[in-house]
Each structure stands twice: as structure tokens, then as C-alpha cells.
Structure 1
């Protein structure tokens, strides 16, 4: 009887079928206890005699007898509940944050002592008394106080969720095992709880790892943003400097142009002023002579007349102005010459900008090696995989999927799917070639139309002096004679492919706004031999910066 005296919770005396305190408790051969009427009714409804708790089957149907020991403990529990001393409201504590409050209390909410799964209500000691004394309420199932009681009840059977269906991965009540979850793999929540505990630790560790990974990713993104900001600030400063210099050049050119125009105008005005001044002086002199002639015309003094008229006639002759004129200056070609000079100046400035830009992209140099498995059968490679030229004979090579069958091309072994890369190729002494990058999945068999639409971003030379960008349609390029080395730069994320004259630091052409979503491989085509003039090889060379 000492064991009975230690029983403190009604939960230990509840039948798992009716969820009430045992009435005539009986024990199954597997050791679980039920009300006698409950287990008999359960077996009467089912063809298989199973324990509702552990699902153990019995054949034939076992004989069950009232468990006197459990009956005595139930009786002791009922007696103890009936004589349990009352606790005054003043001795009870108000519910603290995180504790379950009594749902019945008004004003100050006291700490709940029990929650009823039938009433779906939590009670303090005072409001719990009816459940301990009234016969109708004594059959209700009381548990330790919890929140969200509705969520602990089966919505279909209005019974507590005490089992876990491993088949459907959901919590169920005992009645569910007779209907929707019949013959499913079912376990008590306590057993499932113990089973899932190790998984919880593993899940907690995984979550912490994921949190750490995401924090590191945040730091990585923040570093990227900081690097981007620094790069943007640097590029902005350099851009402002370049554009300021260009604007100053334009302004100086404009000032010089205006000064030339104004100088011509000032010269014309000065010439006109000098002519007018001289003419005004002669007019003044002629007016004086005119006045004297008028005076002499009325004179009767013969001596005076002859003397003065002789002086008038002896005056020096005046300048002949018939052929004198002020011609407006010619401004024809002034604007053209000024703009031409400005263009030359801007071209020089542009060369400086491109040279600086080329130095920046050259830092993304990659070491490339030609891939013989992609080479057209007429191509001949050097032992180090850095040179390729076209031979006159077809080699007997296996027709691999990656090999070009008609286009006299070869690819590099290295491929790229992000970031930036740069390489240089010597084209000295050649009359025809193609260079660029190609999408790894692009067609290499049969006749190939080289264009961005087909996954090719290339430029080329034909007939020794015809340069073109294979932009679909082709774009004629203006390239200075003597091109010996081509630099190729790719920015995968920006969708940019640029080609440079690496010798004179001139930008030849750029494909912009490209959409890269596959691996890219550098492409080389030394062109047909054409009887010998185009026999020089394409050579992948290391970058040499000044």
C-alpha cells in the first residue's frame, strides 16, 4: 500500500480508451490496463484482438480478470482526492509571465493548477474544486496546465491527442486508431517523444550549422558589397577624372575655335577702321580745298586768285579708292578643321584611357592550353599546347562529340562559368584567323554559322586586311595595320566580351549585353593555309605589361 500512497497524478489511473478513471481495471497479457467494459467493447467491434496501446495481437481472445492491485490503488486515489485540503485564494500565486493562467479567474489571474481536456479550460486550485468533488466532473481528464488546449484535441473525435501515427506523421487520438488510422503504425506520444529526442539534437545541430552558414554568407555578401562600393568609388573617381579631362579638351578646342573666329573679325574691323580713318582725313582735306575754291570763285583780285589757285592745283594727288575694299574673312572649313583637331586630341586621350583599361583587365590573365580532343583534323598543335596552325592533310582522328568536323577550330581545355578572364594571342604574319569564346553546348559538327545567336562571340580577319566582328550580321572593323597581338577579355556576369589590340592598347570591338548561362571556352581558328601565306601559327602568349 506504500506505492499507492505515492501516487500523486490522476493521469496514472486513466483508461486509454474512455479516458476516465479506471472502473473494474483489467490487465491484458502485454501488461496494459483498461476498464473491463472498455476493452471488451473494443474487442467486440474488431475481428482482431489487439491491445489498443501496443497493437499486440492475441489469438485466441484472452480471458481477462480484474486487477485487484490496480483496483486498490484507484480506490486509494479517489479517497485521497476527496480528502485533499483546500487552499485559500490568498495562498495561491498570480500567474507569472510564461505560466498558464486560470481561465475562470476575473481580475488578477491566478496560476493554473490543472487543465481539463473535456472542458478545454485551465483552473486554479479554487476553480478546480468542482472537478475534484462533483461526480459528473470527476470523470473529466485533468492534465498539467498547458496553453492552447484546443490544439491538443482531435478535431474529429474531440478526444486528447495521445498517439502518433508514424504512417501519416501526425498526432491522433485513440479513436482514430479504429477509423482513419486503422492498421497504421502507431506509438504512444511518450514513446515517440523519446525516439525523436536524438533526432531533435541532430536537427538542432543542423539548424545551428545552417545559421552559421547563413551568417557567413551575410558576411560574404557584405564584403562583396563593400568591394563593389570601393570599386564603384574608384571607377567613379577615374571616370570623373577622364570625363573632366575630355570636357576640358572640348572646352579648350571651343575656346580656340572662338578665338580664331574673333581674331579674324577683329582683323577685319581694324582694317575697316584704318580705311575709314584715312578716308575721313582725306575728306577733311578735300573740304578745306573745296571751301578755298569757292572763295576764289568770287575773287576779283587777279594776283591773289592766280597765286592761290596755283597752290590748290599743286596740292598732292589723293589716293584712288576704287579698288580698295574690306572683304569679309572666309570661315569655310574652320569648324571642320577645329572638330578634326579635337577628334585627334580625343583619340589620343582615348588611347590613354584604353591603355589604362587594358592594364586593369590584364590582371585577370588565365593560363590556357589547347585541347587536342576538340581540334579539327587539319590542325597541328605544338607540344606545349600553346600554338596551332593549319596543315595540308587531314589526320586520322577519332570523331569525338567535342571535335570540330568542318570548322578549322580548336578550343582551350579550360572553361569558365563566372567571373572575369583575359588572354592574349599572337596573330603576327597571318592573313586570316578567328578568335573569341564559345558556349560549351554549341554545335561543332557540319557547317557552323558563327554568331552570338549560335553561342559564338568572335572577331576575325579575312584576305589580310578585312577585319570583322561576327555579330550576326557581321560588322566591319577599323583596325590599324600591323596588328600583331589580340587581347580577349570576358566578364561573365556583365555579359561582356572585348577585343583589344594589345600592342597599341586600342579597343577593337566589344559584344555587350550578352546572356551567359553555360560554360564558356576560348576558341581559336588559324584559318585555311591558302597556299602558304597564312601558315603562321596562332600563339597563346603570356601578358607583358609595361
Structure 2
């Protein structure tokens, strides 16, 4: 339809131009006038055509005679002529060609933008599909490992139950067989005695019949049904859950605080699982490992490969920082915690103001205040993630984590005078050896 319109438009304009052309000068009308026969001519042309004519005049087109030289100005045709003249001028055509070129270029650019957008969207879709497939494989692998752990635990427990059942059955079976042997011996003796008793009616019994010695049978073994069933009537799911810790990858890392890195105002418990800020400064040796300007402390353990997870009980402490620190951080200067300075942290201020340690800080809107924070460090993928350990919801994740050796990092911060200092506690989930 558009092509047809484009083809027909020039012919329409051409026929209009012909209709607005004077038959005398063969050009567009100038001051068009209309004769009584309805034909149009230029005023100068018709005046020149009739000049010198005496008496009646005729129409140059239809030859109709008129008694006098009369005509009427046609303003509508004049306006149409001016419009056609304007649209067919070189200036107008050049302007129209320029507009056409600019519009065409604009549409070509928009088409290219659309093509690029479509290409980017398709690339994003391919990336999403590829990443989704990789994540699905990882999720399936992790749960397959959990299924295998549970399957192995189930197999082991069922095998243990089968062995104990067989042992108990074997004990009873041995006693049953001994009793049956003794019963047969006793029945043989009874039979001999009964025969001897029947014979005394006809003859005088001079001696007892020969009897087999009685078999001594041990007391039947006791079967304590409670002792047998209690371990299998126990909270098996909890027992299996506790045993799973030794097989989890990553399992909870049993961290301890490194006293040699503690700022002098940090007190560490004897078992190195609690760290709290206090008013009294501890007298420690100053060396390169210790933080001297900021109330910070590191864990004794460090990581530079693999995946690792640990949990910190922050309780109701209104302010703290925790996360991961690079081994090369400056421990003797007061610096802002950020990945650029070697820290990947989560922070709390004023009891409910949570932020990720970026520059500037990234404010976090949490639905609730977590009492336990989980930190996940993937050294190979260079990711540091923080979780609400109460429900394992993700709080924040750094995409570009530390290179090389990194340490778990903690800061109980300087407490306000209105609040009693609250400790940071490292939570341990050791693989407990439960008796089977």
C-alpha cells in the first residue's frame, strides 16, 4: 500500500499542475481569472490575447463567443497555484530532500539501536541460561552430596541394627538348641523309665534302667528390649544432622580469635571464642600483627583456597564490624573499611543501621535484626557473602573478594557509655563423635 501511494503521488501532483497551467503561456497561472465558460487563464495572457479585438471575443480553448471582455479573478485557484509553485521550487525540493535524508538516517540509527538491543537481550538470555544451568548443576551436586551422606548414615545404622539383631537372635538360638537337646535326652530317659515301670507288673525289678546323663542348660539369656530399642528410638534426625557436620563441604570452620592481633582494648576469653571491648587496656607486646589504631581483631585461621563458612553470635550488640581482611592490611593506621583497603565487611550502627562495607557505604534494609551472622568465603570464585544465620537469608555479597591469604575479621567497636559492651562470640559446630 505504501509503495502504491508513493507511485501514485507524483502522478496526482503532475495532473494538478496540468490543471493549473495556462493554455496560452503553458505555465502555471499568474493572477488566474475565469471566463464565463469556466476556463481559466492568466490575466496578462487573456488580456494580451484579446488586445486589438473589436466586438465579440472568444475563449482560446472552447471558442465560445462573449459579447464583452469580462472575466472574474479566482482566488481559490490562485492559492492552489501558489501552493504548487512553492512545493515545486528548488529550495523546497532541497529542503524536502534534506528532511528525507535526515529522517532516513534517524530511522536507520533507531533500527541499529533496536538491532543492538535485541542482540544484547539475546546475549543476556544466553548468559542467564548458561549461568542457570551451571547453578542447577552445582545445586544438584551439593544436594546429591547431602543425599549421599544421609544414605550412608541410613545404611550404616541399618547395618548396625541388623548385626545387633542377629547377635541377639543367635544368643537365643543357641539357648533354644541346647534346651531342645536336653529335652530329647530327657524324653529318652522318660521313655526308658516308663517301659521299666510297665514291666514291673510281670517281673520283679532288680535294677533301674540305664539312663542318659542329664544335660545341663544355662539360664536363658536376658533380652533387654529397652536397651535394644532405645538407640533406634532416639532422635535419629538430630543425630544424623550432628554427624553430617564432619562431611559438609564447606563445614562450619572452628575459628578462634588471634590474641596477637587484638587491639589493646579488646579482651579475649581463655578459650579464644569471645572478644569484647573493655575500658582497661591490656598490656600486650606490640608487633606487626597487632591492630594499634582501630578496635579490630583477626582469627588465628587463614584461608587462600576452597570454600569456607563460619558464624558469629553478635547478640544485641548495637555496633560491630565483621567479615574478611586481606593479610596485607595496614594494622597501624586508621583507615576506612572497604575492598580498596583490603576489607570486605558488614557493619551495624545504632542497633538497626546495617551497611555493606563499600565506599560509599551501601545501606541495607533488613526485615529483622539477626542475632547470628554467617560469613561465606569462596577463595576460588573470590566471593564474600553474608547471611542471617537464623534463617540463612542472604544479606549482601561482594563479587570481587580477596586475592591470596585472607583472615576472618572482627571489630566489637568502641562501646557507648550508655550501653554495656557486648561480646562477639565465635560459634562452633564440631563433628561430635556420637556412639552408635
Higher RCO, 1 vs 2 (CA within 8 Å, ≥6 residues apart): 2
